[in-house]
A and B are shown apart, each in its own frame.
Chain A
Amino acid sequence: MKNKFLPLFLACLGTIAVMNGCAGAGPSAQTEAQTQAQTQTQETGETQADREQESGNRNEEEEVVIAAYRDAVQGSGDAFYCWEGAYVWEALTTNNGGVIEPWLARSWEHNDDCTEWTFHLREDAFFTDGVQFNADVCLENIERWTHGITSTYTSLSVEKSFPNLDKMEKAGEYAVRFTFTEPITTLEYVLSDYGSPMFSPNCFDKETGVISDYAVGTGPYKIVDHVDSEYVLLERNEDYYGDKGKVKNFRIRCIPDAQTRISALKAGEVMGLADNGAITMDGAKNLCDTDDHFSMDSTPSHMTEYIMFNCKNEFLADRRMREALNLATDRESICQVLYNGLLEPAYSFLSTQSVFHLDLQGEYDLERAKALAKEVLDEKGADHADMTMIIRSSTASDYNCKAVAEYLKQVYQELGVNVSIEILDSSIYKERQQQGTYDMTLTVFGINNADPTSTFKQYFATGGNSNGPLNYNYYNEKIDELVAKAPTIADAQERGRIYDQIQTVLFEDSACIPICYQINVNIHNKAIEHYAGRTFGVGLPTISWTE
């Protein structure tokens, strides 16, 4: 009996070994399969490679599949319906690497005291349902924002996009005028991207503002199919006023698990990964180093990694202790070792992607840091200081923050600062911030729009909406004065000088520790090209199959 089953068992093992061997034996076979692998036909479960073999060659008619960790379409209940990176809707202006550029508004002007703004709209933009974009449609859209529709991306309201708005009116068939009770010097910044999404008036309810079916925008792509939490199918807008997309269809799949996304990429089911945190820098680099079917492009991001302090801490309230920590933070090593040399060290609060970025250069001086820390500790009669560093769990997983925190813990210990690291779930993290039960936080964020005034105010001004409530507790009269002055200056260059001063004061006062300027990592199969990151997502219209 024993002998009866032994051959069967060995035969099974042998079959598995042979199959495994066949799959792994031929790099060329795999190469071919992977480079050929294009569109995954979800309906049949075939891989892109299978389809490619059937169709013979690839062309713009073939679908490109991209994976993201979340659904690209949030649906009717969301103010934006889908993310900007789907290229379905467009806004009045756009932030291109810190520079505000015309989009659906081709130009704008304001009066001397910045209380009256006029935006001149494109005359050749049509929604994909055939409705022309004009002043009436623009105003209807802004009216929609008064209904308090929420979003998972960012908030959308008239108060946020048009602070102190007195009235808005048509100033021609293709011009809209906004009048404010208070001057606003940076409206074009505030309205950029998620600040002013425009949809066809036929696709949303006038009473509630809710988009009834699919969102209809003026963008280079339109939604033709969406299965919640599974995928969205985009089709090229053949009547787009600008450069049309090179590929006819994109399917953006939702694959929440990071490892599965990478497997899908390796298996040829998807051609690229999109969205923040789609793959870690390490993961992308490792994959590209070990498999030449994949290419990694990195584009600058508006996100920066910082240590923010709770200045209520008796030691951190002292500028010298903050400076000591700043001096002991070896940004070069962090960027080289922990981020594989992909990131740039940061010294200025505003990222390099802000047009108002000031190129400041700091130094790493551990000895001076030790001396400064000792001074503070001696004055307080302490031989060491215990501090808690909190990190949001999502930040820790999307960026390499955990390793950075561990490294800093070791370095700060040499200054007599014993840091305990706590990685917390998002809601608990916020609660801890609101309660002020932390001493510092390692975090990654970017400015919400290209206008830094609101960000400086939010984080560093007295009464700032994050400074107090999130217990950064940073107070500096000079900052308060400059932050109050900046919005009153209409001239961008002059305002830029104020921002320079603010950044310098923040740097000299070590109000926070900018560590490195993040990048967007875009990894893709070499079967497609021009897969480049944008401020929001990857540039779908430029992507094409590799010749």
Chain B
Amino acid sequence: MWMLIQYILKKMALLAPVLVGTSVIAFALGVMSPGDPVDQVLNPNGNESYTQEEYDRMSARMGLDKPLHVQYINWVGNLLQGDLGRSFFTNKSIVDQMARRIPISARLAGLSMVFTVVLGVEGGVIMAVWKDRFLDHLLGACAVTALSVPGFWTAIMLIWLFAEKWKLLPTSGIASGIGYLLPAVTLALPSTGVCARLTRTAILDEIGRQYVTVAASKGLSRRQTVVCHAFGNALIPVVTYLGTHMAGILGGASIVETIFAVPGIGSYAISAVQSKDYYVVQAYVLFSGMVYVAVTILVDLLYMAVNPRIRRGEAGQ
């Protein structure tokens, strides 16, 4: 147990420089992106004029008249106090907005993950168990189709079918929980395909190993061999993939959120990028970086949980 805690602390220590790096990149990306936020604020519809004096006043008010390093230090200082600033445009607190939107994206990511795990892993196991049979070919074809179809097209088709045609689900919005269904399926579809194929391959790799032959020679059925013995060992690549997938959605599934009018972190980032609201962009980049780091640690811990060899190896180190 102590070793596990040590391991987690070690990973957390590594997190600090990553976060500093992420904050520098986040800040730099905001500053370097084209366009002038002061101009955007003073001239939101691109059709207004302002004087140099007004420009200078607004620039000072937004804190953009200071040298970049001072801006960065101020930004980090506020960040450490939990203040990510206010949106240049809406003047809303970014922390408040993120606090409202992150749970929405998390719910979406969670639901999508459930679909991916349930359908993808199960599909992979079924394909492995019935290797080279009809079901394997059918599910394989479905998996390839699922991962090949672009997300936006899937979204449009799902809306057309379930909302326009059958009127079973709402086209957009999350006012009712059911509104999460179509975006979650859209997000889950390609990852389900990948996950199914990955699981199948990993299990088939394991099936060729000696311990599986031993299990089979003891009289276990193929299904028992796969599920009870090979499956656990085959999970490592699947967990790695699911971790990255989860981080990706948590960090904002921008296109899907925009199509389905889900007010999550991704759609927030998109509108911020469009309006050059770079405090929001900086906050978003930082958040995404943190999510990836957190998920990486989580995946490492899951490795240890599912594979005793890794647990022993890490402990040994």
Contact = CB atoms under 8 A, between A and B. Distances in A.
A104 B45 CA distance: 26
Given A77-B86, A78-B90, A426-B274, 18 more contacts: A5-B134, A5-B138, A23-B166, A24-B165, A76-B92, A77-B90, A153-B44, A155-B42, A155-B44, A228-B97, A228-B100, A229-B267, A255-B172, A256-B267, A259-B259, A260-B172, A426-B40, A431-B35
A466 B176 CA distance: 47
A497 interface: no
A206 interface: no
Contacts of A267: 163-164, 167, 170-171
A257 B261 contact: yes
A154 interface: yes
Contact of B44 (A154, A392, A427): A154
A227 B259 CA distance: 18
Contact of B175 (A6, A45, A159): A45
A33 B165 CA distance: 11
8 contacts: A19-B166, A77-B91, A152-B89, A154-B44, A230-B263, A427-B276, A448-B47, A465-B49
Interface string A38-49: 001011110101
B34 A229 contact: no
A264 B172 contact: yes
Interface string B214-226: 0000000000000
A70 to B, nearest CB: 9
Interface string B159-190: 11101111101111111111100000000000
Interface in A194-245: 210, 227-231
Contact of A268 (B165, B167, B177): B167
Given A77-B91, A458-B49, A43 B164 contact: no
Nearest to A469: B49
B230 interface: no
A45 B178 contact: yes
Contacts of B90: 74-75, 77-78, 152
B44 A148 contact: no
A269 interface: yes
Interface in B33-51: 33-36, 39-51
A47 B167 contact: yes
Q: Please list the 8 inter-chain residue pairs (A to B) with the smallest Cβ-Cβ separation, ordered nearest first.
A: A427-B35, A77-B91, A465-B49, A45-B176, A42-B175, A229-B263, A2-B134, A264-B171
A382 interface: no
Contact of B48 (A154, A210, A431): A154
A413 interface: no
B156 A230 contact: no
A266 B175 CA distance: 19
A392 B260 CA distance: 25
Interface string A1-37: 1100110010000000001100110000000010000
Interface in B97-154: 97, 100, 130, 133-135, 138
Contacts of A6: 134
Contact of A153 (B45, B164, B179): B45
B87 interface: yes
B258 A257 contact: yes
A5 B135 contact: yes
Interface of A: 1-2, 5-6, 9, 19-20, 23-24, 33, 40, 42-45, 47, 49, 74-78, 148-155, 159, 210, 227-231, 253-257, 259-260, 263-264, 266-269, 392, 425-431, 445-446, 448, 458, 464-466, 469
Contacts, number: 174
B312 interface: no
A305 B168 CA distance: 42
B173 A253 contact: yes
Given A45-B175, A75-B92, A229-B267, A465 B160 contact: no
A228 B100 CA distance: 9
Given A9-B138, A33-B167, A256 B261 contact: yes
A459 to B, nearest CB: 9
A253 to B, nearest CB: 7
A28 to B, nearest CB: 15
A42 B57 contact: no
A260 B159 contact: yes
A458 B160 CA distance: 46
Contacts of B178: 45
B10 interface: no
B259 to A, nearest CB: 5
B61 interface: yes
A430 B260 contact: no
A260 B259 contact: yes
Among B33, B49, B61, the most chain A Cβ lie within 10 Å of the Cβ of: B49
A305 B271 CA distance: 25
Contacts of A263: 159-160, 163-164, 171-172
Nearest to B135: A5
A431 B34 contact: yes
Among A2, A256, A445, the most chain B Cβ lie within 10 Å of the Cβ of: A256
Contacts of B275: 152, 426
Contact of B176 (A42, A75, A425, A428): A42
Nearest to B62: A150
Contact of A1 (B92, B134, B171, B179): B134
Contacts of A254: 261, 263
Interface in B245-290: 258-261, 263, 267-268, 271, 274-276
Contacts of A228: 92, 97, 100, 263
Given A229-B267, A256-B267, A466-B49, A150 B175 contact: no
Contacts of B138: 5, 9
Contacts of B40: 426-427, 430
Contacts of B87: 77
A65 to B, nearest CB: 10
A361 to B, nearest CB: 27
A1 B132 CA distance: 12
